[in-house]
Structure 1
């Protein structure tokens, strides 16, 4: 079966809420202290807390060494497998300022490969990555300046952020929403990798004086 057809079939089945038998790779509901599986990067002890059944993380800029503040967990899979990671992401205190963000990333030993997030774009609280849309004249499809990007409001009713990995592609999806449905937004080819893979919960701040906190809850990674 052609790879694009496979990708379309996978997303169609996931969007319908079809039930799959699945292997649980990792789950954290944050009702108890953090699992020892987590690695903490770029965060001091007072920058994160398990509070009221969720993980709360202070939005802060990268350190002097450029390390992005995050908590990561390594798991046994490859980019050729089908893996689904999901997490609820909400703002707990204050608000994200322009350019700041929080979300989940697919990682390997060489760093981040694909990330989904809630962010402030020009004063709007949206989900990213957005969908590129061609707005230029016919024949100029190769010019990146002839594209705009469509974003979606970062509403809690959309449900958890999800990353779906399959066949060396990664997909951005949300759901189930308040009606039990899933929605697909963006997908991209990723580098092939078999070792050092996992997922990170990250924040990215710009203003050290913005004391914004993000809540992460119900983090779950499965192999359908």
Structure 2
């Protein structure tokens, strides 16, 4: 009997270990856009004609980022601190022709002054990639302070990699994508962010210089959990 109990306990522990990541988390905000745009969204540097709901997703018009001006975005303020663990994710799909060089679209944590950290799909020198890239130290011990001893690897912005994700934890922001079509997550970059206890949130943006015709980026399944 004791052996059977131990076996059942072991099986239970294995099942708990394999529970989905979402279980046990609190959903702070979810926007699937099936019912329109929540009143919690705030437009920064955008006119009403610069965003729209279409076929169950939110689309943003590409807007230029001007020096000394806030990044144009839609953002939502949420009750969390940079010391806590919070995860935001969103699907980002380019509408129509590919992004032109320097154009980008993505996700960022925000405070009252603007974005704290950005993750994006972008055209970098003609390549459609995920940024920031993964930084690898290629020098020898003692050369860590030399910026020339680091290499940056960029991954293609393949939709099969899954949503863009930002994890805020312990005053750091981590850039991930996933889950992919095969259930995997990839981590590319992390950075310290300013310690903040209030006035935080997340924003989505699409940026680029105006060209011929309208340029739009599609966002879906926006979700923030804690």
Q: Give the TM-score, by structure 1 length.
A: 0.86
Q: In structure 1, which of residues 173, 180, 183 is the aligned counterpart of residue 183 of structure 2?
A: 180
User: What stretches of structure 2 of length at least 5 have no aligned partner?
Assistant: 1-18
Match of 2:192 in 1: 189
Which residue pairs with 1:125 in the alignment? 128
**Rg larger in 1 or in 2?**
2
- 1:201 is aligned to 2:204: yes
* Structure 2: distance between partners of 1:210 and 1:139: 52
Asked whether the equivalents of residues 71 and 114 of structure 2 are also in contact (C-alpha less than 8 Å), the reply is no
The answer as to whether partners of 1:42 and 1:63 remain within 8 angstroms in 2 is no
Match of residue 159, structure 2, among 134, 156, 160:
156
Distance in 2, Cα, partners of 1:84 & 1:64: 29
Matched residues in 1 for 2:140 and 2:168: separation? Answer: 34
Q: Could you tell me which of 204, 218, 222 is aligned with 1:219?
A: 222
Q: Pick one of 53, 56, 66 that aligns with 1:53.
A: 56
1:141 deviates by 3.3
Residues 150 and 101 (structure 1), Cα distance of their counterparts in 2 relative to 1, 3 Å cut: same
Work out the number of aligned pairs and report it: 208
Change (3 A) 1:56 1:19: closer
Q: Does 1:91 align with 2:94?
A: yes
* Structure 1: tracts of 5 or more residues without a match: 1-15
Whole-Å separation in 1 of the counterparts to 2:103 and 2:177: 20
* Correspondent of 2:43 among 35, 40, 43: 40
**1:114 match: secondary structure:** coil
Q: How many angstroms does 1:157 deviate by?
A: 0.4
Whether 2:28 is the aligned partner of 1:31: answer no
SS at match of 2:206: strand
